[in-house]
Amino acid sequence: MTADATGDDTAEVIPGRPGDPLRGRHVVLGVTGSIACYKAVEVTSRLVQAGATVDVVLTRGAMEFVTPLAFKAITQRNPYTDMFDPSGPEGEAHVELARRADVMLIAPATAATLSRLATGLAEDFVTLTAIATEAPLLVAPAMDSQMWAHPAVQANVATLRDRGTRFIGPVEGRLASGRVGAGRLVEPERIVDELRVYLGRAGGDLAGRTIVVTAGGTREAIDPVRYISNHSSGKMGYAIAEAARDRGADVVIVSTVGLPVPAGVRVVPVSSASEMQTAVHRECADADVLIAAAAVADYRPASAADQKLKKSAGNAGMAIELVENPHVLGSTPTKSSRGTLVKVGFAAETQNLIENAVAKLNERGARMIVANDVTATDAGFGSDDNRVSILDDRGGRDDLPLMTKYAVGHAILDRVAKLLT
Ligand code: CTP
């Protein structure tokens, strides 16, 4: 809550981040009777924080594990629990719910739920709603590994897949039975991200596009244990990737860092500038866009020693000979199998920000350069925020205020989307 000029600290804050495909969506969450039900509470919380309106439907089995009150407290809406309750929140509750849903998620989904969904046996509130809705259905199963592997369950999964139901997991891991195997509910954060992937691909303005993003500082080996690098955290590249994913693009990050991989995004790990160049050229051959957010070292040691370099007695210093690295952005062809590759570069500067950025735009065959002053203390390296200017090849210039890197990603992609149409 933020205080306004009148001192009112109750001003309503619209939850969620602009650009998040869950923001403003109506999600119906079906919860069925599994020990993993407690995780549905977190799924609900994350959906609400993302700005979705969430209606929760619980089966009797689910209410053995979690209470409707937990969901009511998070969603501020009455959960649906009894399809025969005449005093329930709606008249024909399942029909009304089904009509309002943009998407329906069942998490956790038991083996019995999959069976009822596959055969259309609408005898609980969750399957009843799933059968009544035209909204896409995503299902996150949770059960013991032997149950998941059972031919009857797998036959139901195949039937549902054929019918267009999308499965989120299950994953391998520790199960309530103490066994380790496939059957564990996907973690709530990932389930919510999978919904974003789905919604982005279903309606995002970059659906069907392939975007390659470079991220992190390259590492140029001196010997097997030492390297030359820089302060880049890779966060800017990953935030762009997440924003592009949320708009429906197929996204590849060519990355030097080990940040958590956003759901639906492919990562190609690399270390040096040369490795990055090889990977970028390969990935861009079939891509629409390259966004080069990586901080690529301009030079590398002329040769990396095979063995760890040792200090030699009496030697007060040492010199490392450096040779120039390939320019990843500049050397990537602007033609791909998709037609023209739109190239976007970054310019990390400590002085003459705009002049230097414009020079790079021309040199690298880029349509846009995102310039940031890396001396700023509230933005840039390692931070979640950034303050950038976006310059384009027609002389346009936008100075953006301090914003999250995810929002910067969307600002770049707004302009990329226009160039692609
Ligand atoms: N870049 C690249 N390959 C390099 C160096 C940089 O692809 N060998 C890319 C960066 O990812 C960024 C842009 O080029 O998108 C600008 O990087 P920067 O280091 O700021 O500029 P340089 O072109 O290297 O020029 P200088 O070092 O002289 O500032």
Q: Which residues are catalytic?
A: 230
Residue-level pLDDT at 3 = 43
Distance of CA 46 to the CA centre of its chain: 14
pLDDT of residue 349: 77
Please tell me the pTM assigned to this model.
Answer: 0.91
Domain 26-198 has CATH 3.40.50.1950: yes
- Give distance in angstroms: CA of 292 to centre of ligand 1: 9
Nearest CA to ligand 1 atom 27: 298
Spell out the CATH class of 205-302+318-420.
Answer: alpha beta
**What's the gap in Å between 356 CA and the centre of ligand 1?**
11
- Calculate how far, in angstroms, residue 91's C-alpha sits from the geometric centre of ligand 1: 62
- CB distance 58 to ligand 1 below 6 Å: no
> Does the CB atom of residue 281 touch ligand 1 within 6 A?
no
pLDDT at 360: 82
Protein residue closest via CA to atom 17 of ligand 1: 347
So what's the pLDDT on residue 252?
A: 98
Q: Which protein residue's CA is at the shortest distance from atom 3 of ligand 1?
A: 327
**Confidence at residue 148, expressed as pLDDT on a 0 to 100 scale:** 97
Local confidence pLDDT in tens for the 421 residues of the chain: 344 455 555 666 778 999 999 999 999 999 999 999 999 999 999 999 999 999 999 999 999 999 999 999 999 999 999 877 666 555 567 778 888 999 999 999 999 999 999 999 998 999 999 999 999 999 999 999 999 999 999 999 999 999 999 999 999 999 988 889 999 999 999 999 999 999 999 999 999 999 999 999 999 999 999 999 999 999 999 999 999 999 999 999 999 999 999 999 999 999 999 999 999 999 999 999 999 999 999 999 999 999 998 887 777 788 899 999 999 999 999 999 999 999 999 998 777 878 888 888 888 999 999 998 777 777 667 788 999 999 999 889 999 999 999 999 999 999 999 999 8
262 lines ligand 1 (CB under 6 A): no
DSSP state of 23: T
Q: Residue 7: its pLDDT value, please?
A: 53
Q: What is the pLDDT at residue 22?
A: 97
325 lines ligand 1 (CB under 6 A): yes
Ligand 1 contact, 62 CB (< 6 A): no
Domain boundaries defined on the chain: 26-198, 205-302+318-420
Here the contacts of 41-44 (C-beta below 8 Å, separation 24 or greater) are 41/66, 41/70, 41/71, 41/74, 42/188, 43/105, 43/107, 43/188, 43/191, 43/192, 44/71, 44/74, 44/75
Phi then psi dihedrals of residue 388, to 5 deg: -130, 160
DSSP 338: T
Q: Is 347 in the pocket of ligand 1 (CB under 6 A)?
A: yes
